[in-house]
A and B are shown apart, each in its own frame.
Chain A
Amino acid sequence: MATTFKTLLNNDVTSTRTLLHEAIPLTGTIVSGTYIDSGGAEENIKNYAHGMYQSVYDYPYLSSSANHIFDLTVGYSDNCILSSSTATQNAKKINIYNQMAQTLVGYDDSGNIREFDKDGDLSGGTKMDAAFFVNFARLLTKDEIKKGSFQLSVNVSGAYSSPTDDITLYDTNAQNDYRVNSPAGEYGILYVDTPSGTPAADDARGLIYYQAGIAVITASVFAPNLTPTDDIVSNHFGSRLAPLDDIFNGPAQSLVSGSISGSCNGLRNRLTNIQFNNTTELNSTIYFCRASHNEFNYSANPTYLNSSKIQVKETSLDNPISYITSVGLYSADNELLAVAKLSEPLKKDPTNELTLRVRLDY
């Protein structure tokens, strides 16, 4: 129990923020092919009865050791030429797209849901009206994905038993060039095979939302021979698939005739690598607790006794001495809020002054 209080003034308190990062590599073997049971089912992939997305874990999900790493789903806009009443799970694919778009892109002046834009300029230009969505778990993204650190490698041709044409999407130069016109925070453009430098606008293949932790990858990524001319013809980037329902080498797994989980399997089994760095913001308040030469030289500690009497001096000329072992931080009402302990007691007498730096992390 303290007997002496000292008020902290403005210049005794300061706030700091430290950014802590983690490097998160997710190899293709984690998301497919490693945990297959005797029946051929992947034990780290959870598909739901509603069939609207699938969850990917880094270990068989029935184990308590498993971590949820991302959810995977696919959808297209109602305006997309893939949309048709005969398409499998057509309404669900549209609902998925709309839900993601209204959260990540928002609404226009007329109250309509905006579509994902190829270059982030929502006033016009090429739209992505069919896309895959990779929603990373907060366990991995923490406060946000670090800009400029995202990479996603995927094979874009061939059956997924023998895929070919490995491409890598980078959020090239995103630390200097990112968009802020999303209601879900900042986002960058994913460019194909351009790890550095200034990427060409036509190399854009998706978007990465840093705070939301969501990658949006256009379905056109599976049309490796896509040319800029193709984009211009349709003005609908995502659906420029040639041919439309050949996206995964066969109708059974196509974006049109396949189920959402089937399309997700198609993408997941072609992923060869995902890696990014995350960011955790550590906010701290630092209190500089200053003990002047004439302060805190006495103690209320019961051990501060000699023969059952409080005695700090042998003679009247002796200096008082105390040992500081902890610092209490009190509210304005003198309620003890926090206690800082020193690793070893500090000797305090009138010949010295101390400044104890107390850091409180949130």
Chain B
Amino acid sequence: MPFYEFKENDLIYNRIKAKPQVKFSIYNSQIYYKNLDQSMVNSNTPSGHINLHEINVNRSSGLAYAYLPKGSDQSSFRTVSSTDYSKSTLGDEIIFTYPLTSSIQREYHATGSSRPRLDALRNVLDFYTPNSDYYSYDNGPDNGDKSHQQVNLISIPSIFYGSSIDKGSIVLDFYVTGTLIGRLQDVNKNGELIQTLPTGSEGTGSVAGVALYNEGFLLLTGSWDLSNGAHTIDYGNGVVASSWLYYAAGANDGVTAIDDDGSTSYGLTSRMSASYDIQFNGINYVPTVTMLAHAPAGELNNSDNYTFVQSGSYSSLTGSEAHYLENHKIPIKNIVSSSYNGYNEDFERQTYISKIGVYDDNKNLIAIAKLATPVKKTSKRDLTFKLKLDF
């Protein structure tokens, strides 16, 4: 088997920028990711969640779990409190239960309430103020002060979007009884979430919040009545007018589903009448290397494949303690195709290339590229194969 070294121009390093579509639908405190209820596939994955490394697929009991024997090195899991750790004795199992899942989370902050997670974003928000004044933590337009005002914070874990959220791709839809009462989009691609629909209604054209594309947060502060006084709804904090502050209510924020809290308030005033869609594109970078493998004319015209020689040709080898002699006149099978029935074409050196091996510097086989169909290689033919490896 011949080896050829890739030259400088044969290797092209590149990066694919993929933009996977993501959609969450939220209805009555239930989240659906990509229009699916994940618990239908795996009972250990709540709907709207991604299972990070699930080995308890569809088990109801007897779940696998991780543990550490308590030793003198103070190692523990972050989920174990220092009190529980201290109570255990040496050799005890410190348990970390599975499954590990991830999903979006909404946090509603009332006026003047404590907001440590929002406070932690202060520097990040202020960093983006050159893009828009609406990012400002405590000095935004219209007396915006995120340290004190009502804020609806939606956190999106990076496992859903990759490196960042694609700028301008966010679409937030707010429905009541199936009617769209508001849509937010970043039409200027500067992070401002501007209400674009319904046309002509209150708030359309106004900035209702900002998006942190690299960090995966949506901060909504738009407090105008999206229903123009048509209705009020209990979003878990009392009966209020629908606004962006209550968008995505029920998304892992402690707001219970109507069936669960015993409420009988069905109908327009019930939060069952509201539903939400969150759509955006992620950005995921896939490094790739493209390799050009050349099969020069006059080379690669021999094969070690048994079918390369005429049937029975290997029988004529001799050997003893002193020597091993293979027949050096093994006839090569002529596989040149003829256009005529019953006629054999003149012999030509010809092989079929079916796969290409990629080796490292130490001749370790690290990858194999297989062709969909073998490619005929004659001595007069130059061939170049384009191999692409994704990481």
Please determine whether A18 and B64 come into contact, CB atoms closer than 8 angstroms: no
CB 8 Å contact bits of A46-68 with B (1 = contact, 0 = none): 00000000000011000101110
CB 8 Å contact bits of B28-72 with A (1 = contact, 0 = none): 000000000000011000000001001101110011111111000
Kindly identify which residue among B54, B58, B67 contacts A23, using a CB–CB cutoff of 8 Å: B67
Please determine whether A67 and B55 come into contact, CB atoms closer than 8 angstroms: yes
Please determine whether B66 and A21 come into contact, CB atoms closer than 8 angstroms: yes
| Closest A residue to B95 using CB positions | A23
- Residues 14-34 of A contacting B (Cβ, < 8 Å): 16, 18-25, 27, 30
- Residues 324-378 of B contacting A (Cβ, < 8 Å): none
For chains A and B in complex, what number of residue pairs have CB atoms within 8 angstroms?
47
- Complex alpha-carbon distance, A139 and B59, angstroms: 17
User: Which residues of chain B are within 8 angstroms of A19 by Cβ–Cβ distance?
Assistant: 68-69
User: Which residues of chain A are within 8 angstroms of B89 by Cβ–Cβ distance?
Assistant: none
Q: Does any Cβ of A come within 8 Å of B75's Cβ? A: yes
Please determine whether B65 and A27 come into contact, CB atoms closer than 8 angstroms: no
Q: Chain B's nearest CB lies how many Å from the CB of A279?
A: 11
User: Which residues of chain B are within 8 angstroms of A264 by Cβ–Cβ distance?
Assistant: none
Kindly identify which residue among A20, A24, A65, A66 contacts B64, using a CB–CB cutoff of 8 Å: A24
Q: Chain B's nearest CB lies how many Å from the CB of A280?
A: 9
- Complex alpha-carbon distance, A19 and B75, angstroms: 10
- Complex alpha-carbon distance, A21 and B98, angstroms: 13
Please determine whether A63 and B66 come into contact, CB atoms closer than 8 angstroms: no
- Complex alpha-carbon distance, A227 and B67, angstroms: 40
Please determine whether A20 and B42 come into contact, CB atoms closer than 8 angstroms: no
User: Which residues of chain A are within 8 angstroms of B54 by Cβ–Cβ distance?
Assistant: 65, 67
Q: Chain A's nearest CB lies how many Å from the CB of B64?
A: 5
Q: Chain A's nearest CB lies how many Å from the CB of B85?
A: 15
Q: Chain B's nearest CB lies how many Å from the CB of A213?
A: 14
Q: Does any Cβ of A come within 8 Å of B73's Cβ? A: yes
Q: Interface size class for chain B?
A: 10 to 19
Please determine whether A22 and B75 come into contact, CB atoms closer than 8 angstroms: no
- Complex alpha-carbon distance, A22 and B100, angstroms: 14
Please determine whether B73 and A22 come into contact, CB atoms closer than 8 angstroms: no
Q: Chain A's nearest CB lies how many Å from the CB of B76?
A: 10
- Complex alpha-carbon distance, A63 and B36, angstroms: 15
| Closest B residue to A16 using CB positions | B73
User: Which residues of chain B are within 8 angstroms of A214 by Cβ–Cβ distance?
Assistant: none
Q: Chain A's nearest CB lies how many Å from the CB of B297?
A: 38
User: Which residues of chain B are within 8 angstroms of A67 by Cβ–Cβ distance?
Assistant: 54-55, 57
| Closest B residue to A22 using CB positions | B66
- Complex alpha-carbon distance, A67 and B59, angstroms: 13
User: Which residues of chain A are within 8 angstroms of B57 by Cβ–Cβ distance?
Assistant: 58-59, 65-67
Q: Chain A's nearest CB lies how many Å from the CB of B191?
A: 23
Known: A65-B42, A66-B57. Contact between A27 and B64, CB under 8 A?
no
| Closest A residue to B66 using CB positions | A22
Please determine whether A18 and B55 come into contact, CB atoms closer than 8 angstroms: no
- Complex alpha-carbon distance, A112 and B55, angstroms: 40
Q: Chain B's nearest CB lies how many Å from the CB of A64?
A: 9
Q: Chain A's nearest CB lies how many Å from the CB of B372?
A: 20
- Complex alpha-carbon distance, A67 and B54, angstroms: 8
Known: A25-B62, A25-B64. Contact between A140 and B69, CB under 8 A?
no
5 A–B contacts from the bound complex (CB under 8 Å): A21-B66, A24-B55, A58-B55, A58-B58, A66-B57
Chain A interface (Cβ within 8 Å of chain B)? 16, 18-25, 27, 30, 58-59, 63, 65-67, 139-140
Q: A20-B68, A27-B62, A65-B42 are in contact. List 7 more A-B contacts (CB 8 A).
A: A16-B73, A21-B66, A23-B64, A23-B67, A25-B62, A25-B63, A65-B57
Q: Give me the 6 closest cross-chain CB pairs, A-B, nearest first.
A: A25-B62, A59-B57, A22-B66, A58-B57, A18-B75, A24-B64
